[in-house]
Amino acid sequence: MPASTQLHAPLKAVLVPLDQVPDPVFAQQTMGPGIALEPLESQLFSPCDGEIVHLARTRHALTLKTDQGCDLLIHLGLDTVDLEGEGITVHVAPGDRVRRGDLLWDFDADLLACRALSLITPLVVTSSDQWRCELMDVPVGRVIERGAALMTLVATSQASPTGKGDGSNNEYREQVTLALAAGLHARPAARLRAIAREHGCTLVLERGEHQADAASLTALMGLSLRHGDTLAVIARGADAAAALGEAAALLTTPEAAEDDPGHGEPADPTPAVVPTKNDTTCYGLTASPGLAVGPLVRPGHSRIEVNADREESAETAERALVQAISTLNDTLVADIDQARRQGRREEADILEAHQAWLDDPALREESLAHIRAGRSAAFAWREVLEGRIIALRQSESRLLAARADDLRDLQERLVALLVPDAAAVGHIEIAPGAIVMFEEITPSQLLALDRVSPAGLCLAGGGTTSHVALLARARGLPCLAAMGAGLIEVMGRHQGGDVILDADNGALIFSPAADQLSEARERIERNRTRAVAEQQMAHEPARTRDDALIEVCANVAGPEEARTAFDAGADGIGLMRSEFLFMAHAQAPDQEMQRESYQQALDSMGTRQVIIRTLDIGADKQLDYLSLPSVPNPALGTRGVRLMARHQALLDVQLRALLSVRPLDRLRIMVPMVCDAAELVAVRERIEVLAREMNLEGRPELGAMIEVPAAAVCADQIARVADFLSIGTNDLTQYTLAMDREDPDLAGRADVLHPAVLRLIDLTVKGASTHRCPVGVCGAAAGDPQAWAALVALGVDELSVEPARVAAVKAGIRRLDRAVLSRALREWLNEPIDSVTLRQRLEQWLSDAPDANTNDRGVSDDAI
């Protein structure tokens, strides 16, 4: 007979069906089946006999394992995690045995009701693959007394998870196919480790005969897992099922290349000349574009010398190693925090990967073993990491090979802490404005180098996918990589002499002639002068030479970037991506959290308009707490406005938050992935219902994104019911050309200047004009060096770009004669023309355009 256990009401409450809980994670039974209770008293007792196997750090949730082995999650209220335990007193701890009726929590019901989304408390069977719920005959919506029979849990199979009694040995396994385009590299490996820790579980990846524990980054990356590989994910522990779900989702969800260019592993671009040298020039790969002139310097950095054998006792050396690891970890934590606060996300991500390496137990244990065998702490650490560095460099994956520099960085930073006076040996000193040459450089060395303001960087090794390249690009530091032994050979003859680093064209020019130096310096100075002049005019309107006013707005991810956009001169926010707020939290942000973020964005922009896009999740952007159907092509699945129909409660919370900002007349709400007018009408009707419930008099403007060909073709119909349209050129291009923008083999051909895409944009503008509906562009094309001009020529009213591009795009608009270019563009589009030819013609047209030498304020407006 199958095992069973009866649950009793843990407090007096109103019975609520799980599918009516205003949180999609519970309502869609993502975590499992069960029931929910709306408390009518402020103490919660155990519903059965069992053992507490997990308690949330914030005291708002616990997992109770019944004596029959069923895992039951009790979640006190909704969004109570954000209270950080305030108003909640817990009377049990993990490992405690409890009997039915034992007190689990006291809670301040008034505080939770005011500060959390809801007091509704779900009871969820998380081991639902082996247990089913049989609810007692109690009508939902009725009051149930504490201790009354609530439901029976019945085992669906005699089989039980591996392990006995306490659940610590529960084992779950799932076969997955790795969807990470770059394979399993440092950052997702670090996330696996975090998942295991958060759930108090062991996570193991298995490929063939090889296994790797997630606690060891070196072991994980030693599997050399690549995109498309099949592997098993094994989770062991009390909360293993939840950990397995998160780990599988991480490994099977493609990364968004636009969010982190360091993740992908594209083919290295072919330089104009293969990496080699001649008497005057050495070539390499463009790791970070730009132009620089300065003396060529090779810093006198030498590797720290260490004694192989220890002179002190093993215990002393072991303590020194552990202390050095702790000290370096504290430094990394502080550096990560500073990078996050200053908005340097790429730097923070890289440092977090370093922190995960440092915490690798395998590295620590092997080093301690070397110490016990008679080696010094510094030698032991260096020796253990050297083996990993060699293995990474030999990897077939270019991205994994590039991670060897990160491990070298960690190796030498810890050695510097273990060797007295080593810091002075490893210090890099150069004069500001130098072109600095290294055989290789670590990320931390680059960060230190950045403080003395070098003009450029040349690397004999490295590549375009390294973290050094990523940091150089983030800082606008011209950098060439993979320059080879030729660079080292000529270094002695040219050290200290002026060179030209033309990273745009992959060239380092030695002993340049006086006229070459003069021309390069003039180009650099023109660029600087132009940037200053553009910024001086950034807060002025942008009018074409034939007096067409074009608004130049900014694309932002949140209120912090909105402040940057205002300072940069943006005429408004053309796109605020609300999904980043959702992606930053483990649960959906509540109404007040959203309202505060949206209000801050409006406040940052003064009197200027702010367009906020409703949640756009799906395809390359996923939420751990939002269950989306698994489909072969998620880019064509449930996303954008389609998501709203499926998750109405989630949309309602967002719409209420948007309707709560003031003043409403400066807010514009934009709906993504609209295909026809009916979809936008449905959203407007919902806004009307919510606005009446909130007793609002005003209404914000409502617009649609045009990012699928169907919407472009139906633009005249959509414009009839919209206040504005905004073209998302990224998706419109990939859907029109059937080319995935994340596919490295196709990304170069997925060009917005393809005639088919431009014709759809033209159709959109013409359709909208029949209803006097303004049209903007918020995709990457708005800031493209040539495409922005084509968009203006086709008649768009607004361009929304990254904040750093606002001043340059405005300056370019002021040089443009819209009518003249419009006539030329339409003639070109009538020819059998491709995007490459069209881009060349636009580039030539812009370079030949008459220079508006001075404007009304006497400031030069050069072309962008």
Give the Cα separation of 576 and 229 in Å (integer).
Answer: 36
Which residues lie closer than 8 Å to 97 by C-beta, 6 or more apart?
A: 50, 51
- Per-residue tokens: 183: 């394979």
Q: Which of 404, 402, 390, 405 is nearest to 443 (CA)?
A: 405
Q: Which residues of 82-108 are buried (b: 16+ CB within 10 A; e: fewer)?
A: bbeeebbebebeeebebebeeebbebe
Q: Active-site residue among 8, 60, 75, 467?
A: 467
- Per-residue tokens: 820: 């003249």
Give the Cα separation of 830 and 4 in Å (integer).
Answer: 75
> Taken in order 728, 731, 737, 741, is the CA torsion positive or negative?
positive
Give the Cα separation of 736 and 738 in Å (integer).
Answer: 6
> Taken in order 257, 272, 837, 783, is the CA torsion positive or negative?
positive
Q: Which of 122, 134, 149 is nearest to 47 (CA)?
A: 149
DSSP code per residue over 762-797: HHHHHHHHTTT--EEE-SGGGGSTTHHHHHHHHT-S
Q: Active-site residue among 282, 479, 553, 778?
A: 778
Element (H, E) at 436: strand 435-438
Query: What's phi and psi for 614, nearest 5 deg?
Result: -65, 165
Give the Cα separation of 703 and 719 in Å (integer).
Answer: 9
Which ranges in 573-616 belong to alpha helices (H)?
A: 579-583, 591-604
- Per-residue tokens: 21: 């809980």
467 a catalytic residue: yes
Strand partners, 206: 211, 232
Give the Cα separation of 679 and 718 in Å (integer).
Answer: 9
Element (H, E) at 554: strand 549-556
Give the Cα separation of 598 and 592 in Å (integer).
Answer: 10
Give the Cα separation of 293 and 499 in Å (integer).
Answer: 6
Q: Which of 799, 808, 816 is nearest to 852 (CA)?
A: 816
Give the Cα separation of 855 and 234 in Å (integer).
Answer: 67
Angle, CA 623 vertex, CA 185 and CA 664 arms, to 5°: 130
> Do 43 and 59 touch, CB atoms closer than 8 A?
no
Give the Cα separation of 404 and 426 in Å (integer).
Answer: 19
Q: Which of 561, 769, 764, 767 is nearest to 777 (CA)?
A: 764
Neighbouring CB atoms inside 10 A of 543's CB total 16
778 a catalytic residue: yes
Give the Cα separation of 582 and 616 in Å (integer).
Answer: 10
Give the Cα separation of 844 and 217 in Å (integer).
Answer: 50
Q: Which of 252, 253, 344, 349 is nearest to 617 (CA)?
A: 253
Indicate which residues carry an active-site annotation.
467, 778
